[in-house]
Amino acid sequence: MNRRSFVKAAASATAAASAEALAAPPAAATLETRIVRLNLQHVWTTTMSSSQYRDTLYTSFTRDGITGHGEGAPIVRYHEDAVSAQKAAESVREVLLAADPMQFTKTMAEIFRRVSGAWAAKAALDIALMDWVGQKLGIPLYSYFGLDPRDAPITTFSIGIDTPEITRQKTREAADFPVLKVKVGLATDEPTIEAVRSVTDKPLRVDANEGWKDKEEAVRKINWLEKHGVEFIEQPMPAEMLEETRWVRSRVHIPIMADEACQRASDIPKLKECFDGVNVKLDKSGGVLEAYRMIAMAKSLGMRTMLGCMVSSSVSVTAAAHLSPLVDYADLDGNLLIANDPFRGVLVEKGKLILPRGAGLGLTAA
């Protein structure tokens, strides 16, 4: 074949391939978004809110006979609610449906570029996509990230702010968990810890959810907590009070973790002098991919890492659990706080996270 006939043959082969591509439409993809009401087993109180249920955004992405499930819990602190989350997800429906789902990094970057805020919506789309990709590849999500499920840490069980009597009852109900996380930050901090301590002497981790506005008070409380067997304190002061937090950190012995001060990977470098570690949540970061980048960023700066969650079902909690072999601490109990979880995924045995071995997130219907 001379050069001219080769070019001609190649051109007609390309034309035939294009004609074939035009004749066979791409496998139709579908996206479903819906708001699901998760009912809490106990009224859940923190410094930010008190409620009996949470409305969360669910997504299902289907293509090639595979359905990936996603979930995002709208965070009130970031001015999100389920209705606006659903709207944000719907606004990028065509981007997702037109994309090659195996090009998930490119697709999510485009979604992040188009949607400002709406982290729960982004998380719900990212998680559905990553569940789909894992199923398409036939591997659990932890394998996609090269992780060993046996390295998954124990998770704490969270005790919300309540009366001493209910706090004692909740502490008794958490007998299976070797470490508890206790919410403080209101006027009742000491009675809350004393109520827990009247039931158990197991290690505690404490979350003040930005509750202490005065740095002297924060130092006093943290040093008091240390004497009561507290391993670390999460977000003692408001997120914007970085200088004060740095001052506090230099006067206490237990680690201080950033939660509200730390939403995305790019937030982390400026926190290095003020905090010992970061609490990463999929609902804050906008999904698994950004959460992975946050963990990598924190580790590269020599900071401790933690995976947390909002009140949510097994979809979101399982997605986070697949990254948990990477982190020092886990607080992945959101699904254990609700009464109507539609799925089963990660399990907890004596506090240890047991990752499902199925492809993708490895979810099954409850």
- For residue 210, what is the DSSP state? T
Judged by CB under 5 A, does residue 234 bind Mg ion? yes
Residue 333 as a binder of Mg ion (CB under 5 A): the answer is no
In angstroms, give the least distance from the CB of 192 to Mg ion.
15
Q: Does 131 bind Mg ion (CB under 5 A)?
A: no
Which residue, 189 or 207, is less far from Mg ion as judged by CB? 207
Using the minimum distance from each CB to Mg ion, give the nearer residue, 131 or 259: 259
Which tokens hold the place of 131?
Answer: 């569940």
CB of 136 to Mg ion, least distance (A): 34
CA 146, 335, 356, 178 dihedral sign is positive
DSSP lists the bridge partners of residue 343 as 365
Q: How far apart are CA 258 and CA 210, in angstroms?
A: 10
Which residue shows structure tokens 């990212």?
126
- The reply to whether 259 sits near Mg ion by the rule CB under 5 A is yes
Cβ at position 20, least distance to Mg ion in Å:
54
Q: Which stretch binds Mg ion (CB under 5 A): 12-20, 64-72, 157-165, 229-237?
A: 229-237
DSSP state of 234: E
Task: Report the candidate in 292, 263, 267 with the shortest Cα–Cα distance to residue 127.
Answer: 292
Number of residues that bind Mg ion (CB under 5 A): 3
- Smallest distance from Mg ion to CB 147, Å: 24
* Identity of the residue, 162 or 234, whose beta carbon is nearer to Mg ion in the bound complex: 234
The residues pairing with 155 across neighbouring beta strands, listed in sequence order, are 330
Stretch of residues binding Mg ion (CB under 5 A), selected from 44-52, 78-86, 161-169, 206-214: 206-214
- The one among 126, 131, 207, 333 contacting Mg ion by CB under 5 A: 207
Angstrom distance (rounded) from CA 122 to CA 76: 16
Decide if 86 contacts 57 (C-beta within 8 A): yes
CA–CA separation, 87 vs 303, rounded Å? 36
How far, in Å, CA of 72 to CA of 283, rounded?
6
Distance in Å, CB of 181 to Mg ion, minimum: 8
Token representation of residue 50: 């008190």
For Mg ion, the closer of residues 68 and 255 by Cβ is 255
Judged by beta carbon, residue 162 or residue 259, the one nearer Mg ion is 259
Tell me the closest approach of the beta carbon of residue 41 to Mg ion, in angstroms: 20
Residues lying near Mg ion in the complex (CB under 5 A): 207, 234, 259
